[in-house]
Structure 1
């Protein structure tokens, strides 16, 4: 799912459609042309993306033998993934190197609060669900509020139900499925968000949440200057394997981590020659 641009500077998204259904040669030509045109490509996809699509992505990168293609599958619900992708598109207009921009996704994930209102948690396996919640899922009219990230939370919706939100100012994006969004609107006021925007429900959301009776929401940082300051304030280093500039402890392009510092070898005892 590609969200509309936040501003005039936001880079356009490229959606790689039906990778597992099109001929391999066609998908290969598309990704090769995109890499040549852009220089580097960061492919962001949900963990709910079908296994056949993920396998095709790795096959394509292997056939291209390219170290300029990075895959990033954040542990976020589909709407959170779409928000993160747009944040990286915003940052792509700044003076950040490809490696730093690609690694910024892991950093910005920490500032995203993503959840949903569900009509049932009987098939929810992304968040711990107790036996009582499972049993209440079968009661007609029951609804549950779930926060999947950054800290799992689950409550049955009632007069006093709430979720712990961010401790900083955010915007909120809401995607309505087969449930009304009144409770999410009340949560937005409680979280004191700058504003509430709506968008269609991502196609992968019912699979991720285990039900189509869902209203997905995500609070996020929308200001480009704030996003840039967060990323630019992190110390940069060069990947010891591929040499690209990175932030954090892992290169998104080659998956290398800094080598561990081995303790110095013990000194051999000095041998004294008898006089």
Structure 2
């Protein structure tokens, strides 16, 4: 998920090792060092990551007893998640507090359109697929355009086939797997009026997430740092009632506290 930086300001990514297999002591040492060096750490993790990786992250955070480590795992396909991680790295160069930066991930997720062109949807279980599409996926040569986020949508490839796209200016990132097609670049990019097209290596989790290695993954996103910064700073900010850190939204991304619920006084009989 460590995409190349857009510019010199973009903060480098730190790729954690094989958390599911390495000794617990090594994972503890890595996260503790990162926290001491940077003050706060935002860990972005794919929902397609092995369960052992997620459990290790939670264990390490618990053992360190740290409210300075935020675990963030939104329901985005791998390429979309990689784009979001880079957007957070872009914002990390700005004058945002740790809580606002970590909270920005949930906000920016709404502005990402992520999907894939698939050679089969037979094993796709993260996007709703009807039985008719499942049956068609067994026909040799069938291809499907799938939008996973923000609103699930599926179309079988044919003349004029496209997907609903963003209503604002975006750039497009494409990662090619074991599928040959120019539909994304020749049809989807013009249909979505994408302002720029770049290619990236296919994330390691993509085949697992989409249920097939025969795919071309794509993601439309906001590339301009000034636009990202304006979005984040224009949203109302709150202070966590528990740890005091500034956040966007109700749930604190570091200590995980939510605002207390104040019960209404009972009405007199």
What TM-score results when the alignment is normalised by the length of structure 2?
A: 0.97
Q: Is the 8 A contact 2:175 2:200 kept in 1?
A: yes
How far 1:193 moved relative to its partner?
Answer: 0.6
In structure 2, the residue matched to 1:133 is 133
Cα distance per residue 1:191-227 (max 9 Å; x no partner): 1111110001000000000000010000000000000
How far 1:266 moved relative to its partner?
Answer: 2.7
How far 1:63 moved relative to its partner?
Answer: 1.2
Q: Which ranges of structure 1 fall in alignment gaps of 5 or more residues?
A: 270-275
Q: For residues 29-178 of structure 1, what are the structure 2 equivalents within 5 Å?
A: 29-178=29-178
Q: Is the 8 A contact 2:10 2:92 kept in 1?
A: yes
CA RMSD of aligned residues (A): 1.0
How far 1:181 moved relative to its partner?
Answer: 4.2
Q: Is the 8 A contact 2:20 2:50 kept in 1?
A: no
In structure 2, the residue matched to 1:258 is 259
Cα distance per residue 1:52-89 (max 9 Å; x no partner): 00111111111111110010001100000100000000
Larger Cα-atom Rg: 1
Q: Distance in 1 between matches of 2:261 and 2:22?
A: 43
Q: Distance in 2 between matches of 1:188 and 1:28?
A: 43
Q: Distance in 2 between matches of 1:145 and 1:256?
A: 39
Change (3 A) 1:259 1:181: farther
In structure 2, the residue matched to 1:230 is 231
Q: Secondary structure at the match of 1:116?
A: strand
In structure 1, the residue matched to 2:214 is 213
Q: Distance in 1 between matches of 2:88 and 2:10?
A: 9
Q: Distance in 1 between matches of 2:157 and 2:256?
A: 41
Q: Which ranges of structure 2 fall in alignment gaps of 5 or more residues?
A: none
What TM-score results when the alignment is normalised by the length of structure 1?
A: 0.95
In structure 2, the residue matched to 1:273 is none
Q: Distance in 1 between matches of 2:240 and 2:89?
A: 23
How far 1:160 moved relative to its partner?
Answer: 1.9
Q: Secondary structure at the match of 1:230?
A: helix
Q: Distance in 2 between matches of 1:264 and 1:241?
A: 24
